[in-house]
Amino acid sequence: MNTPPLTSARVTPEDLTRFCLEAMRLSGLNTEDARLTAEVLVTTDTLGTFTHGTRQLRGLLKNVRSGRIRADAHETVTAQGPAWALVDAHDAMPTAVAYRSMELAMHKAKTSGISFVGVKQSSHYGAAGFYANLAARQDMFGLSMCNVDPCMAVPGAKGRVLGTNPIAYAAPAGTEKPLFLDIATSAVAATKIYTAKTLGHPIPDTWLIDEEGVPTRDYSQFPEKTVQVPMAGHKGYGLAVLVEILTAVLTGAGILSEVSSWVLDLPTPTNEGHAFIAIDIGQIMPIGHFKTRMDQMIQEIKSAPLAKDAQRIYLPGEIELERQEQALANGILLPPDVVASLRGTAEDVGLDAEQLFTH
Ligand SMILES: NC(=O)c1ccc[n+]([C@@H]2O[C@H](COP(=O)([O-])OP(=O)(O)OC[C@H]3O[C@@H](n4cnc5c(N)ncnc54)[C@H](O)[C@@H]3O)[C@@H](O)[C@H]2O)c1
């Protein structure tokens, strides 16, 4: 069979959603899990975070076929108080579990002001920022994080110790755009290295170290032999440990090496943990007052004098929200690796990908 050349493609969010829903239906997922997952992944693509949007569907469905993600499972609340809950995901579709768990945190925050929901026995939930933004959309402050199988060294070590443990926060603003930061605690998310590998793009020597712990630009041995490093040295390391405490130590999920890669073909469940925190701002300060103060902060940051050759200052999340405006107006321009991944998804589940790309 001829492999189509690597090209980008423009699709509407609606067509992309329909494609994802059909691929998940053919894979045996129920309507609600498929709907929530499609919203997580397609929204992430509209923000231009293509490493963690619909590109992830192929891997998620491969896990469904192998039984590592259980299409027939549903999470349960195993313990709770007025301002917290612990959830066992039972290996159900992780994006849907995470979506509902953030909603549970927001629901509890409505009565208690602030709440924590921790999830164990889960898998890959995609972009941390999606769930934090759910809270900001309802005038809450949201925090979202998850632990990942070890693929990152720590200062002084040469092998894998910690995952790339992403963390995201989001907050509403008034006349300004809401603000959110969504980052891996590694120098970059692993998917950026896989993408560079797929496209043959060079990477800097600040993303990986070799077997001796020496910085390298060679991704040919990633992930087998080369290892990621934390962002900003000991600072990223310390933040990744914070994520491990809240998502794993406190929830009962796998700790460090007890988590298995969701990407590799392994027989064991992934056992990742997630943590969601919601703060109902209006109970602490009138929401209008908070938003005015957010605008004040944003405007002061934006009016800082520009560095030589700089064009403008962005707030965290602003780049993505501008991309989203474009995507909603003109369609999402999917990069070649995402198109290739969606074609692969279609082939895996018996769908015609050209229906999506020739619309
Ligand atoms: N689920 C997982 O296993 C997992 C693991 C790691 C990462 N991830 C996801 O990977 C994605 C990418 O992570 P990353 O670390 O490569 O992100 P990144 O380095 O691209 O940083 C993105 C964040 O930085 C902000 N930002 C970028 N440039 C800016 C600027 N000039 N001024 C102000 N803010 C700016 C963006 O608005 C965004 O919030 C995230 O969505 C993350 O959640 C997921």
Nearest in space to 143 (alpha carbons), one of 158, 152, 130, 126: 130
For position 223, what pLDDT does the model report? 86
Q: 4 pLDDT exceeds 80?
A: no
Report pLDDT digits (tens) over 296-331: 999 999 999 999 999 999 999 999 999 999 999 999
Task: Say what percent of the chain tops pLDDT 70.
Answer: 98
Site of tokens 């990942």: 148
> Which ligand 1 atom sits closest to the C-alpha of 168?
43
Q: How far are the Cα atoms of 6, 88, 101, 144, 253 from residue 85, in angstroms, in the given order?
A: 45, 10, 9, 15, 14
If one counts every other C-beta atom within 10 angstroms of the C-beta of residue 8, the result is 11
Q: Taking residues 249-276, report their average pLDDT.
A: 96
Rounded Cα gap, residues 117 and 134, in angstroms = 14
Rounded Cα gap, residues 209 and 225, in angstroms = 9
Q: 9-186+229-286+346-357 adopts what CATH topology?
A: Ribosomal Protein S8; Chain: A, domain 1 (3.30.1370)
Ligand 1 mutation target, pool 183, 188, 262, 274, most atoms within 8 A of CB: 183
Q: 6 pLDDT exceeds 90?
A: no
For position 355, what pLDDT does the model report? 82
Residues with Cβ within 8 Å of 291's Cβ and at least 6 positions away in sequence, in order, are 172, 173, 174
Nearest in space to 178 (alpha carbons), one of 297, 328, 276, 279: 297
Ligand 1 — pocket residues by CB below 6 A?
49, 51-52, 124-129, 146, 148, 164, 166, 168, 180-184, 188-189, 192, 314, 316-317, 319-320
For position 354, what pLDDT does the model report? 87
- Helix pair angle (336-349, 190-199), 10° resolution: 90
For position 5, what pLDDT does the model report? 62
Q: 3 pLDDT exceeds 60?
A: no
Rounded Cα gap, residues 297 and 299, in angstroms = 6
For position 208, what pLDDT does the model report? 95
Report pLDDT digits (tens) over 96-154: 999 999 999 999 999 999 999 999 999 999 999 999 999 999 999 999 999 999 999 99
For position 2, what pLDDT does the model report? 54
Rounded Cα gap, residues 112 and 277, in angstroms = 12
Nearest in space to 180 (alpha carbons), one of 190, 189, 172: 172
Q: 191 pLDDT exceeds 90?
A: no
Which pair of tokens denotes residue 85?
Answer: 């809950």
Distance 180 CA to ligand 1 centre (A): 10
Burial of 310 (0-12, 13-18, 19+ CB in 10 A): exposed
What Rg value do the Cα atoms of the chain yield, rounded?
A: 20
For position 359, what pLDDT does the model report? 64
For position 66, what pLDDT does the model report? 96
Amino acid sitting at position 343: R
3-state secondary structure of 272: strand
Got the DSSP string for 12-32?
-HHHHHHHHHHHHHHTT--HH
Rounded Cα gap, residues 188 and 22, in angstroms = 32
Average pLDDT over all residues of the chain = 96
Q: 189 pLDDT exceeds 90?
A: no
Q: 207 pLDDT exceeds 60?
A: yes
Considering only CA atoms, which residue is closest to atom 32 of ligand 1?
Answer: 314
Q: Between 192 and 89, name the one with better pLDDT.
A: 89
For position 224, what pLDDT does the model report? 87
Q: Taking residues 229-252, report their average pLDDT.
A: 97
Residues with Cβ within 8 Å of 248's Cβ and at least 6 positions away in sequence, in order, are 120, 147, 254, 255, 256, 259, 273
Ligand 1 mutation target, pool 52, 122, 164, 276, most atoms within 8 A of CB: 52
For position 68, what pLDDT does the model report? 97
pTM over 0.85: yes
Considering only CA atoms, which residue is closest to atom 17 of ligand 1?
Answer: 183
C-beta separation of 216 from 209 below 8 A: yes
Q: 342 pLDDT exceeds 80?
A: yes
Chain Cα centroid distance, residue 262? 14
pLDDT band at 31 (very low <50, low <70, confident <90, very high): very high
Rounded Cα gap, residues 208 and 350, in angstroms = 37
C-beta separation of 84 from 115 below 8 A: yes
Considering only CA atoms, which residue is closest to atom 1 of ligand 1?
Answer: 126
